[in-house]
Structure 1
Amino acid sequence: MDPDSIRTAERVPHGGETDRDLLDFSANTNPRIPDGVEAVYADALEDARRYPDDEYIDFRAAAARFVGCEPDDVIPTPGGLAAIRLAVESTLEPGDEALVPYPSFGEYAREVRLQGARPRFVRYDDLFDLEDEGLESAALAIVCTPNNPTGEAADPDELAAFAARCERADTTLLVDEAFLGFTDLPSAALRARDRDLENVIVARSLTKLFGLPGLRAGFAVATGERRDALETARRAWSLGTPAARVGAYCLRQDEFVRETRERVASERERLRDALSERFDVHPSDAPYLLCNVGDRDVDRVIESARERGVAIRDATTFRGLESHVRVAVEDREANDRLLAALDVRGDRD
C-alpha cells in the first residue's frame, strides 16, 4: 500500500446489523447453513492448536470443483474482500488508473486509492461499451456480477468478450463474484480458462452463500503470471483451520446450493412483486433487491422499519444513488416480516 494514501483514506459503510433484537435485512447472507457444519467446525478446533497446512490442498480442490478451474489456480483468502485487496495490491502502482463501476461495492475505490492509484468511475452497465482507448489507459478494470447493489448479473458471453478486450489492452480484469453462487451462471474463471485468458482474476466469497459471514473464507482464481503473483503475495496461513475445513465442506454441498438458489429465486420474485406496490424495484439476479423510495425520506423509511424490528440497508451510501434502500431476500417467514415493516401487504398466504 501507499503510505501517503493510507493517511487520507476513509472507511466505507456496509450493511450488517449489530442489534440482535432486529431482523437483519441490511446484509445479503443466506439465513440457512448446510447441515453438518457444526460438527466439521468442532472437529477442526483440536487441529487449530497447530498452524494450518499452508498448501490448503483440500480447500483448493473443493473450490476448483465449485467454479470449474484447476486446484493450483485457487488462492485461499480470509473472505472475498481479502481476495479483492490481494488482486488490487498485486496489480496497481501509485499513479495507475483503475476502472471502477458505480453504483457498486464501495471497497473497490477504497482499495484502489490505498495503493495510490486513481479510480475512474464508469456506470456499471456502461463498462462493457468502453472504447479500446479507455481500456488502454487503465491498469485494472473491475466488474461485479451480480452487481451490488443493483443485483444484475453480467451476461457470461459479454463478460468473456470484455475480458478478451482487456487482455489486448494489457488491462487486468478483476471479477467480483461474491454473489454469483446464488445463480447457476458460470464463473468468469471457467470462461477465462476456456479462452486461454491470463489477465482475469476472480474473487469469490463463500460465507454469503453458506450463511457464515463471520467465518471469513474466500478465494481468488487466476492463471499464469497473475496467479503466481497472487500466490507469492498472499499471507502465510491465509485461512484458519476451521475456516478451511468448513469452507471445503460447504463447497461440496450441492443439494444445499441447489435448494438455496431455488428458494432465493422464488422468494425474490414474490418480494419484488409485493414491494413494487410501493416502490420502484430494480430487477435482480441476486439475493437482494434495490428499491427506489421516490420522494419519501430514506431515513424515515429506514427508521420506520427499525421501529418494527427490521433493519434495511441505506443505499444512498452507494455512489449515484439518492433515494434508495436495499433489502436482502431471506426465507418466507422473515420476508413477510419485512413486508409488514414496510407497510406492504403483498401475498403472505
Structure 2
Amino acid sequence: MDPDSIRTGERVPHGGESERDLLDFSANTNPRTPEGVGDVYTAALEESRRYPDDDYSEFRAAAGEFVGCEPERVIPTAGGLAAIRLAMECVLEPGDEALVPYPSFGEYAREVRLQGATPRFVRYDDLFEIGSTVLEPCALAVVCTPNNPTGDAVDPDALESFAARCGDAGTTLLVDEAFLGFTDRSSAAELDREHVVVARSLTKLFGLPGLRAGFAVATGERRDALATARRAWSLGTPAASVGAHCLRRDEFVRETRARVAGERERMRDALEDEFDVHESDAPFLLCDVGDRDVSRVIDDARAAGVAVRDATTFRTLDSHVRVAVKDRPANDRLLAALGVRSHDDVDPETES
C-alpha cells in the first residue's frame, strides 16, 4: 500500500443502517441464516482460547466444494473485501492503471488508489468489448458479477472471452462474486487461469455480514503470491467454523435462491408502477425515481420505518435508490413505505 495515497485517500459510502428500529433495505444481506449456526459459533468460541490453525483445511475444503475448485487454490480472508485488497496489493504498484467498472462497488477505485495506482473507469456493460489496445497498459481489470448496484450477472461466455483477452494482454483479472451465490451460475474459479483471481463473500448469502468471512481463489504462481501475502490467522476461529458449516448447507442455498428470485420479480412488478426498475440477477433492485427528489424518497421511507440505499453515491447515478430483496413480510413493508401497492393486494374486480 502506498503511504502517499493513504494520506490523500477517503472512505466511501456503503449501505447498512445503524438505527436498529429501522427495517434495513440498504444492505443486500440474506434475512435468514442456516440452522445450526449458533451451536457452531458457541463451540468455536470455546476453541478461540488458542490461535486458529492457519492452514484452515476445513474451511478451504468447504469453499473449494462450493465454487468447484481444489482446496489448495482457496485463500481464506476476512470477507470478500479483504480478498479484493489482497489481490490488489499483490498486483498493483504506484503508477499502474486498473480498469474499474462503473457504476459499481465504490471500494474498487478506493483500493486501487490506496496502492498508488490510477483507476481507469469503463461502463460495466462495455467492459467486455474492450480489446488489447486498452488492456495492455492496465495491470488489473475488475469485473463484478452480478454487478452492484445494477444487478446484472455476466454471461459466462463473455467472461471467459474477456479473461482470455486479459491473459493475452498480461492483465490480471479480478472477478468479484460477492453476490453470485444468490444465482446458480458457475464461478470464474472454474476457469483455472493463472491471471484470474476470484473474490468471494460468505456473509451476504448466509446473512452474517458482521462475521467477516470470505476467500480468494487463484492458481499457480498467483495463488502462491496471495498465500504468501495473506495475513497470518486471517480468519478468526468462529468465522472459519461457521463459514465451513454454512458453505455445506446446500438446501439452504437452494431455498434462498428460489425465494430471492420469486420475491425479486414480485417486487419489480410492483415497483415499476412508480419507478424505472433495472432488471437484476442479484438480491437487490436499482430504481430510478425520475423527477422525484431522491432525498425525499429516502426520508419518506425512513419515516415509515424502512431504510433504503441512496444510490446517487455510485458514479453517474443521480436519481436512483437501491433496495434489497428480503422475505415477503419485509418486502411488503418496503413497498408500503415507498407508496407502492403489491399486485398481490389488488382485487381484479376493482381494477377492471
Scaled by the length of structure 2, the TM-score of the pair is 0.98
CA distance in structure 1 between the aligned counterparts of 2:164 and 2:131, rounded to whole angstroms: 13
Deviations 1:272-321 (A, max 9, x none): 00000000000000000000000100000000000000000000000010
Residue 256 of structure 1, CA deviation: 0.0
The answer as to whether partners of 2:131 and 2:165 remain within 8 angstroms in 1 is no
Distance in 1 of aligned mates of 2:139 and 2:221: 15
Match of 2:317 in 1: 321
In 2, distance between residues paired with 1:251 and 1:24? 25
Q: Which structure 1 residue ranges, 4+ long, deviate > 4 Å from structure 2?
A: none
Structure-1 separation of matches of 2:131 and 2:243: 40
Indicate yes or no: 2:181 matched with 1:218.
Answer: no
What CA distance in whole angstroms lies between the structure 1 residues aligned with 2:341 and 2:312? 25
- 2:265 matched to 1:269? yes
Match of 2:337 among 311, 336, 341: 341
| Cα deviations by residue, 1:92-147 (Å, 9 ceiling, x for unpaired) | 00000000000000000000000000000000000011121100010000000000
Q: How does 1:111-190 map to 2 (within 5 A)?
A: 111-190=111-190
Q: C-alpha separation between the residues in 2 aligned to 1:213 and 1:346?
A: 29
Q: Mean alpha-carbon deviation: is it higher for 239-248 or for 126-135? A: 126-135
State the alpha-carbon separation in 1 of the partners of residues 187 and 316 from structure 2: 28
Among candidates 228, 238, 243, match of residue 232 of structure 1: 228
Q: Which residue number in structure 1 is paired with residue 51 of structure 2?
A: 51
Distance 1:227 1:281 in 2: 39
**For residue 26 of structure 1, what is the aligned residue in structure 2?**
26
CA distance in 1, matches of 2:13, 2:235: 25
What's the CA shift string for 1:63-83, capped at 9, x where partnerless? 000000010000000000000
Matched residues, percent identical?
78
Match of 1:247 among 234, 243, 247: 243
Where 2:291 maps in the other structure, the secondary structure is coil
Letter in 1 for 2:324: A
Provide the C-alpha distance between the structure 1 equivalents of 2:242 and 2:6, rounded to a whole number of angstroms: 34
Could you tell me which amino acid in structure 2 is paired with residue 165 of structure 1?
R
Match of 1:308 in 2: 304
Equivalent residue in structure 2 for 1:280, among 276, 280, 288:
276
CA distance in 1, matches of 2:331, 2:344: 9
User: CA-to-partner distance for each residue in 1:15-64, whole Å, 9 max, x for gaps?
Assistant: 00000100000000000000100000001111000000000000000000
Whether 2:222 is the aligned partner of 1:204: answer no
Match of 2:350 in 1: none
* Equivalent residues of 1:189, 1:222 under 8 A apart: yes
Any gaps of 5 or more consecutive residues in structure 2?
A: 346-352
What's the C-alpha RMSD, in Å, of the aligned pairs? Answer: 0.5
Q: Which amino acid aligns with 2:227?
A: E
C-alpha contact 2:80 2:213 (8 A) present in aligned 1: yes
